[in-house]
Amino acid sequence: MRTLRTIAEMQLAAESERGAGRRLAVVPTMGALHRGHVSLIERARTAADVVVTTIFVNPAQFGPNEDLTRYPRPFDSDVAVAGAAGSDIVFAPSPEEIYPEGFQTFVVNERAASGFEGAERPGHFRGVATIVAKLFLATKPHLAVFGQKDAQQVAVVKALIRDLNMDIELDVAPIVREPDGLALSSRNAYLSADERARSVVLYKALTDAQRRAAAGERSATAIRRAMYGILKEGRPDRIDYAAVVDPGSFVELEDVPLTGALAILAVRFGSTRLLDNMYLEQRKSEA
Ligand code: AMP
């Protein structure tokens, strides 16, 4: 396992692997690796000859009052975890390497990034699309693995790849959860024991939405109301949103289609924001 720090070294390594006919996969992360990240690296391992895990806490995707400075950075253990999961290379550039003096070019998504996370976190997806484009140009992958956990990010990355004609395959890995349903996240470490206990309402609200859809509920408004009701039982400090959307456009739906609707939510406990989502399927009619 190699740790590379500069874009030039990374591009050279990627070129040499490509030249030898090997298939490269990249798994972009912000570190503080948990079993969710490990599942992405393992998927990449089965689908490629060379697996690059990137570790970069991207300042451009954090708002001024967000957790950039306190975001956990257990670098040595991250390198060990990435290696044990099957990474061949960890690419961990410094902020100055990525955003040197004079940096002035950003990638902006004008549709899928507009609502929800984009509305709650102005500039977030501009930072995400820019860093993902830069990491793709540095690591030159055939395949990129992202997690369904950040569903709107997946929509933005899909559009990025398509709109900028990037020759990169996208693989989306399912959400890895704790036994009680809470989606794994590096930010779960911020939760107090009491907040952690109350956070089960996210999973409860999503599985309830899934049950209602499967039982034939067609009204997204009814599902949304029920999600808010369950979320409130956990006494969160704020419900940023709970909604049913089209997973490609991230436009809110009024009617739940037979397949392919996504229930999404973002909730705050103290200053910790938790995100989650789940696909909804209507039971097919007998006719
Ligand atoms: P992050 O380090 O939070 O930027 O996440 C890096 C990648 O891991 C993203 O593609 C996330 O969607 C994915 N990821 C984070 N948490 C999970 C999880 N619980 N299950 C699956 N993938 C995840």
Q: Are residues 42 and 146 in the same domain?
A: yes
- Ligand 1 centroid, distance to 32 Cα (angstroms): 10
Q: What is the pLDDT of residue 214?
A: 96
Statement to judge: residues 115 and 228 lie in one domain: no
Split into its structural domains, the chain has a count of: 2
Looking at the CA of residue 185, tell me the nearest atom of ligand 1: 16
Asked if 166 and 196 sit in the same domain, the reply is no
- The answer to whether residues 20 and 100 belong to one domain is yes
pLDDT tens for residues 33-54? 999 999 999 999 999 999 999 9
| Same structural domain, 154 and 23 | yes
Last residue of some domain: 173, 208, 228? 173
- Rounded mean pLDDT of 227-240? 98
Task: Find the mean pLDDT for residues 125-143.
Answer: 99
Catalytic residue among 34, 37, 124, 142: 37
CATH for 217: 3.30.1300.10
Residues 250 and 140 in one domain: no
Closest CA to 88 of 134, 158, 136, 141: 141
40 and 167 share a domain? yes
- Residue closest via CA to ligand 1's atom 6 equals 29
CATH of the domain at 49: 3.40.50.620
Ligand 1 atom nearest the C-alpha of 149 is 12
- Output the pLDDT for position 282: 86
Q: Whose CA is nearest to atom 18 of ligand 1?
A: 36
- 169 and 275 in a single domain? The answer is no
Closest CA to 31 of 66, 69, 75: 75
In a domain, 256, yes or no: yes
Question: Is 34 a known active-site residue?
Answer: no
Listing DSSP states for the chain in one string gives -EEE-SHHHHHHHHHHHHHTT--EEEEEE-S---HHHHHHHHHHHHH-SEEEEEE---GGGS-TTSSTTTS---HHHHHHHHHHHT-SEEE---HHHHS-TT-------SSTTSSTHHHHSTTHHHHHHHHHHHHHHHH--SEEEEETTSHHHHHHHHHHHHHTT---EEEEEPPPB-TTSPBP-GGGGG--HHHHHHTTHHHHHHHHHHHHHHTT--BHHHHHHHHHHHHHHT--SEEEEEEEE-TTT-PBPSB--SS-EEEEEEEEETTEEEEEEEEE-PPPP--
Q: How far is the CA of 149 from the centre of ligand 1 (A)?
A: 6
Domain end among 173, 195, 226? 173
Q: Which of 152, 173, 194 is the last residue of a domain?
A: 173
Predicted TM-score (pTM) of this structure: 0.97
Mean pLDDT over residues 6-19, rounded? Answer: 98
Query: In the prediction, which pLDDT does 263 show?
Result: 98
- Domain coverage including residue 142: 2-173
Ligand 1, pocket residues at CB < 6 Å: 29-30, 36-37, 39-40, 146-147, 149-150, 173, 175-176, 183-186
Among 150, 264, 278, which is best to mutate for testing ligand 1, by the most ligand atoms less than 8 A from CB?
A: 150
One domain for residues 29 and 168: yes
Q: Which atom of ligand 1 sits closest to the CA of residue 148?
A: 12
- The residue to which tokens 């948990």 are assigned: 34
Nearest atom in ligand 1 to the alpha carbon of residue 176 is 20
